[in-house]
Amino acid sequence: MGLELNFSKCEFYVLNPSAKAGKQLLELWPDMVRLSDDNFSLLGAALKPAGCEKFLTEKKEQLSKFVQRLSKLPSHYSLFLLKNCLSIPKVLFGLRTSRCYEFPALLRDYDELLRKGVQQLSNVSISEAQWMQMALPVRRGGLGTRRIESLAVCAFLASVYSVQSLVSRFYTPAGECLTQSALECWLTNTKCMLPEECERRCQYVWDTPMIDRDVSTLMLSTVGDERRRAVLLAAFSRDSGAWLNALPAPCLGTFLRDEEVRTGVALRFGLPAVIAHNCVACGKAVEINGHHGLSCNKSTKGRWARHREMNSIAKSCCESSGFPCQLEPVGLSNDGTRPDGMTLIPVRQGMPIVWDATSWCTVADSHVHGSSKKAGSVAHLAESAKRRKYASLENRYSFYPLVVETFGVFGPALSELLHFMGRKIPQTIDLDEYFNKDSP
């Protein structure tokens, strides 16, 4: 038929190393490539233990190169790329298709290299306990740089169960031989019951008990330390980690300078933020965590900066949604109170929106007892105080107290306003028409 084989592109692997078939094939076709255990793979998935070792070693070397190159970029860019593109995404296919969980030493080496990379890029010092929190997903109080030591077995089990019914059609004992060792490893680490049969194809179901185990360990470590517990609960709140998922774009106002990234990471994970010294404003001792500067009564510079920035963002948000507004309007009430801003046209229920912004410290001495028991308790107190102050305006205006705790917890009114304004921002395309509503 005129077809010829290009033997330089043909590969073969001999299951029995003592067999003579390999030598005979090479005598017939010397250009043919004989695969060894470490490079025997199918579509990039290692099929032998030696291949898993080679895969993890190569990925560790790649990560080392990535960290060296990312160190030349601003911290916000480098951390965003490392978290979302160059760490877990680069190894996840191998974790799902190969038994990488059988090599815990190599997995720990990769995780240690990742920890050092985060430490270098964010310019902070990270202990083992703090790294446990940073390795959690952002929604669970972490940085999002997951540890592959805990992720490997979850990824493999989810992948196997997602194709088990198909594989079992031509190889009946596929389920047991593929999952037994992985299930034993997962059960040893989690001490939990196996997920329901219908849910086992989802990696989230296998991963959640691992995350819950680490969260429980972190909570137990804060027993007797109200301040540390308050910081941890604030990190667990829904909105406090939003800045870690935001695209670092200067044109959108979401780009953070290196020092801002370092401070944000240090405060979120309880890392050293400053050198111990005495406060120049009040003379009190400032610990290395830097919490004193967030609540010092005589330090007005930080409070003014936060207040000014919050109002600037609120004004920009309203105007982007099509509602012109004015800062510090005069003459809204007879008692002389003046809110921070208002819209110039009706927005909700025929009334303009009026807001007043504030930022209370999560770990201030007067608040830490409540914030160590429930995240957001300080924001609720601040909202109540603002509503009492501007009670005379609520009949004529739709009043919103905009409260953000210093550790990132949003008040309920702010979350509601952001959700409402986000739906009002005009779209450049009709998303309902562009995407099929029935598709996942």
Let me know if residue 20 belongs to a domain: no
220 plus 297 within the same structural domain: no
DSSP per-residue codes, 81-97: HIIIIISHHHHHHHHHH
In this prediction, residue 61 carries a pLDDT of 96
Q: Quick check: 87 and 145 in contact, CB under 8 A?
A: yes
Regarding whether 335 and 210 lie in a shared domain, the answer is: no
Contacts for 121 with CB less than 8 Å, ≥ 6 apart:
67, 70, 71, 75, 78, 79, 82
Residue 124 has which token pair? 């902070």
Same-domain pairing of 336 and 206:
no
Asked if the structure places residue 321 within a domain, the reply is yes
57 with 172, same domain: the answer is yes
Cβ 341 vs Cβ 315: under 8 Å: yes
Q: Is residue 19 part of a domain?
A: no
How much is the pLDDT for 146? 94
Rounded to whole angstroms, the Cα distance separating 369 from 392 reads: 31
CB 346 within 8 A of CB 356: no
CA distance 308 to 103: 52
CATH number of the CATH domain containing 351? 3.40.1350
Return the pLDDT at 432. Answer: 53
Q: Measured over all CA atoms, what is the biggest interatomic distance in the chain, rounded to whole angstroms?
A: 101
**Tens digit of pLDDT at every position of the chain (440 positions):** 888 888 888 888 888 877 777 788 888 888 888 888 888 988 889 999 999 999 999 999 999 999 999 999 999 999 999 999 999 999 999 999 999 999 999 999 999 999 999 999 999 999 888 999 999 999 999 999 999 999 999 999 999 999 888 887 877 665 566 788 899 999 999 988 999 988 999 999 999 999 999 999 999 999 989 999 999 999 999 889 999 999 999 988 899 999 999 999 999 999 999 999 898 888 888 899 889 888 888 877 778 888 899 999 899 888 888 899 999 998 887 777 889 999 999 988 889 999 999 999 999 989 999 999 999 999 999 999 999 999 888 888 999 999 999 999 999 999 998 888 877 766 544 545 544 544 44
User: Is residue 326 one of the residues assigned to a domain?
Assistant: yes
Q: Are residues 163 and 301 in the same domain?
A: no
Whether residue 82 is found in the same domain as residue 171: yes
What are the tokens at 102?
């059988």
Full domain range(s) for residue 72:
45-224
Distance, CA of 248 to CA of 121 (rounded, Å): 15
Work out how many domains the chain is built from and give that number: 2
Residue 64 lies in a domain: yes
Q: Does residue 203 share a domain with residue 60?
A: yes
> How far apart, in Å, are the Cα atoms of 160 and each of 95, 178, 179, 200, 205?
11, 7, 7, 9, 14
Domain boundary pick from 200, 224, 248 = 224
Specify whether 220 is located in the same domain as 309.
no
Same domain flag for 193 and 297 = no
Looking at the domain assignment, is residue 166 inside a domain?
yes
Q: Which of 163, 190, 224 represents a domain boundary (last residue)? A: 224
**What is the pLDDT, as a whole number, of residue 426?**
62
349 domain-assigned = yes
Tell me the C-alpha distance between 401 and 386, whole Å.
6
pTM across the whole model: 0.86
Q: What is the pLDDT of residue 66?
A: 96
The predicted structure's pLDDT at residue 155: 95
Residue 288 lies in a domain: no
Contact 209, 202 (CB under 8 A): no
Residues 208 and 310 in one domain: no
Residues 305 and 217 in one domain: no
Nearest of 390, 389, 425, 386 to residue 404 by alpha carbon: 386
